[in-house]
Amino acid sequence: MGIMTNKTELAERGRRRIEWIRSRMPLLAHARQQFAESTPFSGHRIGMSLHLEPKTAVLLETLAAGGAEIVATGNHGSTQDDVVAYLRGEGMTVFGSRDDSLDAHHANVSAVLDAGPDILLDNGADLAAGVVARGSAASVIGGTEETTSGGLRLRGELGGRVTFPMIVINDSLLKAIGENRHAVGQSVVESFMRITNLMVPGRRFVVAGYGWCGRGVAQYLRALGGKVAVVEVDELKAFEAALDGYRVDRLEGLADWGEVFITATGQPDVITAQHFGLLRDGAVLANCGHFPWEIDVAGLRAAASNVHALDDAIDRIEFADGRHVILLADGRMMNLAGREPKGNSLESMDLGFLLQSLSLERVATGASELPHGAQPVPDDINRLIATRMLAAMGANR
């Protein structure tokens, strides 16, 4: 009885949180209505491996409204149990919980594949790799891949063996503008303030990488009065940063100037042992790139004389020479860290998940017309969503 009540309470908490999120995702609401009429996923089973949180729940509801049977699991460590409880109550098959070990997580991904989905909603190409390893590619008509790293895997180690179309959402220009630049820009600045409670105006920030995410981070820091310098290895992007009015230099030249360093390159070893000795006392180090490898955290800890965990996502790392640096979120994506991380804005995820929904619809209704393997989002889908976003914002062209 007690367990039952807990389950019901958990599902009810999930329902309330999802209600707020759903109410601010108008693009998906529109898609739900259309899908309910056209039922593009009728007779299809969609297997999903993606962060299980309220925004994904709204995506899953949208696909279910179009007739899909859903079999889903989350990413390791980020599953929200109240969301899972709610989705199960809605009749979806969902594996996983927040405290799952890595082995349990792998078992969940296997369980999704055991259910025999014919459409994949993948993240990091785990499901596609599983299908290839099992030799069951013939039963899959196609799918979508959320991340750049999954796209690289599909084109690299799995290249030639993915005998169905996989639309890579992250390759969309619309997503780059709406999410990587503007949503990551906003949420990284919000996360810096939320985690540290420090002031942005007048503070000196160094942003490493002036790609889509780095441009947004630099833009929103400056908008709040931060002084921003950029480190960029690509000469064209470095040139752009200089014309955009930022100080542009190598990390070595900025190590003593910067008070906060934020990496946004997607590459390993951007801030390494060679820089630690140059950083000013109290410098804050943070990362927003996908992998926790841009700051050499192991090297930093090895170089330290003392490490103190000060708060959920704040470590004080002391050196023998008396200086210290502050490491946020252990070098992991800072906008998903700390207390009550919000991640990227609702509107940007509404956009990203409409890209997912319409790409999956394209797979369900026209997979035979798409080439095999990794491919970008069809351009007509990008343009349709841009038009709907403009209309939702009251903008004209």
For the record, the structure tokens of 387 come out as 């038009």
Does residue 14 belong to the site contacting ligand NAI (CB under 6 A)? no
Residue 347 sits in the site that holds ligand NAI (CB under 6 A): no
Report the site for ligand NAI in 249-268 (rule: CB under 6 A): 264-267
What residues from 20 to 49 belong to the interface with ligand NAI (CB under 6 A)?
none
Binder among 85, 125, 333, 389 for ligand NAI (CB under 6 A): 333
Q: Does 210 bind ligand NAI (CB under 6 A)?
A: yes
What is the token pair recorded at 327? 């490491």
> How far is 335 from 341, CA to CA, in rounded Å?
6
Selected from 130, 142, 178, 214, the binder of ligand NAI by CB under 6 A is 214
Strand order in the sheet with 324-328: 247-248, 227-231, 204-208, 260-263, 283-287, 324-328, 314-318, 306-311
User: What DSSP line would sit under 54-87, residue for residue?
Assistant: HHHHHHHHHHHHTT-EEEEE--TTT--HHHHHHH
Site string for ligand NAI, 274-303 (x = CB under 6 A): --------------xxx-------------
Structure tokens at 118: 């014919």
Closest approach of ligand NAI to the CB of residue 38, in Å = 31
Q: How far is the CB of 251 from ligand NAI (least distance, A)?
A: 7
Spatial separation of the C-alpha atoms in residues 130 and 319, rounded to whole Å: 45
Out of 66, 96, 209, 373, point to the residue binding ligand NAI (CB under 6 A).
Answer: 209
Site string for ligand NAI, 118-157 (x = CB under 6 A): ------------------------------x---------
In whole angstroms, what is the distance from residue 49 CA to residue 66 CA? 19
- The CA distance from 292 to 274, in Å, is 18
Of 15, 51, 155, 237, which one interacts with ligand NAI (CB under 6 A)? Answer: 237
- Report angle CA 74, 77, 78 to the nearest 5 degrees: 60
Q: Binding ligand NAI by CB under 6 A: which of 191, 344, 359, 382?
A: 344
Which one of residues 69, 232, 315, 350 is an interface residue with ligand NAI (CB under 6 A)? 232
End-to-end CA distance of the chain: 58
Interface residues toward ligand NAI, by CB under 6 A: 148, 180, 184, 208-214, 231-234, 237, 264-267, 270, 288-290, 333, 335, 344
